[in-house]
Chain A
Amino acid sequence: MNEAFDPARWRPAAFLPEKDARDGALIFVVAVLCFLACLTGLGVLAADRAAGGWSSQLAGEATVIVRAKGGETPDAAAARAAEALAGVAGVTEARALEPQKAYDLVRPWLGDVADLEDLPVPRLVAVTLDARTPAKAPALTNALQAQGLDAVVDDHSVWLRDIERAAGVVRWTGAVVFLLIAGAAGAVVAFATRAGLAARRDVVEVLHLSGAEDGFIAGLFQGRFAQVAGIAGLLGAVAAAGLGAILRLAGGHQGLTPALPIAWGDLLAVLPCPLIAALVAAAAARLTASALIREMQ
């Protein structure tokens, strides 16, 4: 085999081993952390969408309680109220609910009364507000008063404040968890890179003492570990996107559950992961290589 060696056909081998037994462990660890970071990112996006949904659902609706007065029947008063509200700017739809809805609301207090229809139970009007320029409660009240109706407008503002506060907590908690996991992933990438590079101290030493410039040595390790971490980041991102897709498919159009709605577009959020992993590893490798070289000066 050696006799056949022809120097004219020699091509320089890479200064760093093209494959290293330690690469497998590094790729596994980085891929798992990138997977967790991506999954958390998807969870944060879904939680953000869910929290936004709660607020907009409440903000987009109002309920009007209409009491009949004079000789008017409750159903007629409700119908007039719906008609008056439908004409208000910022109202998409106003619909008088069936009397049964009102009876269902009072039944827990009155029990199964036989002639509930004979009682003056107020009627309900459900108002759907324009999402962009919703009508305010005073405008709705004015419209009802103009028609001489005895009505109370509930724009859910009491609940909305609590829901928005809860949604804010969900968003911030998700963001903090994501940052912690992404930070931990970055730290592990950096430490794993440092450990991998320290194991190749011999290469640093030989190149350094043979006259290689510091930037050249750092660049070798930077490129190598960026490549390994990039591959690992890609594996983690693909796995997280795959799981996200399964959750999206398993849960129908709203994701796994309405409480955690994942959109197809959310899956694109994992795209920067390989690049970020590669950049973190490259920076860690450069810093570590430079520190090793400084020790050798």
Chain B
Amino acid sequence: MSRNPNAAAAIDSAAEEVVRFDDVSMRYGRGPEVLRDLTFALAPGSFHFVTGPSGAGKSSLLKLVYLAARPSKGLIHLFGEDLSRATARTRPHLRRRIGVVFQDLLLLDHLSTFDNAAVPLRLSGRRPAEYRNDVAELLRWVGLGERMQSMPATLAGGEKQRLAIARAVVNRPEILLADEPTGNVDHEMALKIYRLFVELNRLGTTVLIATHDQDMVARSGRPVLHLEDGRLSALPPQGPAQP
């Protein structure tokens, strides 16, 4: 059987990329398409912003990557795996390789700061003795060393945000997705959070941040996926990540 060189190249390319979208569209139920014909790829260790006005589809794009939604058209490859072929058994394993900072944080109000941060590690099946010191160290690193036993309701906005980030990165994900991570914090805190992402990126994590904060995007000099009405209006530069 002859091999289609273009298809083969696409497969090889997908295997090298953390995320690859090929002509992807998405709609909720029978509604209109919220994302249209997206084609892009994220290289390992890259750092990108997703920008665009409200309703442009930034959160929907992230949902496709963290497997909270399915495309209505097109193919998505994640860690080289075609998501259309992923099963209920393989999807949880893919999710464990992704860290997500949700727009509404999704902290569990009945768990302490420490327990919230440890959720992904517990789900990985490791024994507490193997990771509890790592969790404590991470919480100290994000400035929550004194709040490990505090319940989320008692944390300030910035602390909650950092806890959500800690939970997202605690199991050293290969890709970190953040949806408006600086939306509810002041400028100083936004800078701290941004520096945290940069630090994680330096450690090798691929970072994709959806944000309205044009100032942060402009000053970072990082590549941008700009969405307008569900379409990409600026393609990211391909190649190695910017430090």
A282-296: which have CB < 8 Å to B? Answer: 296
A1 to B124, CA, bound (A): 30
Taking CB atoms, residues of chain A closer than 8 Å to B233 are none
Please determine whether A297 and B70 come into contact, CB atoms closer than 8 angstroms: yes
Distance, CA A8 to CA B132, complexed state (A): 7
**Contact present for B108 and A203 (CB under 8 Å):** yes
A10 with B128, Cβ < 8 A, contacts A205-B106, A207-B119 known? yes
B30 lies within 8 A of chain A by Cβ: no
Interchain CB contact under 8 A, B146 and A11: no
> Does B203 lie at the interface of the complex (its beta carbon under 8 Å from any beta carbon of A)?
no
Are B108's CB and A202's CB within 8 A?
Answer: yes
Interface string of A208-244 (1 = CB under 8 A from B): 1111111010000000000000000000000000000
User: In the complex, what residues of B have CB within 8 A of residue A7's CB?
Assistant: 114, 132-133, 135-136, 148
- CB <8 Å contact, B114 and A211: no
Instruction: Report the tally of A-B residue pairs with Cβ distances under 8 A.
Output: 78
Instruction: Give the residues in chain B near A72, CB-CB below 8 Å.
Output: none
Task: Tally A residues with Cβ within 8 Å of B.
Answer: 28
- Give the complex CA separation of A16 and B111 in angstroms: 9
Q: Quick check: A12 and B123 within 8 Å, CB to CB?
A: no
> Which of B109, B120, B135 contacts A211, CB < 8 Å?
B120
Please, how many angstroms separate the alpha-carbon atoms of A296 and B67 in the complex?
9
Query: Counting CB contacts under 8 A, is A13 at the interface?
Result: yes
Question: Is B93's CB within 8 Å of the partner chain A?
Answer: yes
Q: How far is the CA of A207 from the CA of B124 in the complex (A)?
A: 11
What residue of chain B has the Cβ atom nearest to residue A9's Cβ?
B132
User: Complex formed: what's the CA distance from A97 to B170 in Å?
Assistant: 95
A209 to B68 Cα, complex, angstroms:
7
Interface string of A1-20 (1 = CB under 8 A from B): 11101011011110111000
List the B residue with the shortest CB-CB distance to A3.
Answer: B146
Chain B interface residues (CB < 8 Å from chain A): 66-68, 70, 88-89, 91-93, 95-96, 100, 102, 106, 108-112, 114-115, 118-120, 122-124, 128, 132-133, 135-136, 146-150, 167
User: What 5 A-B pairs have minimum CB-CB distances, sorted nearest first?
Assistant: A211-B96, A211-B95, A7-B136, A17-B110, A7-B132
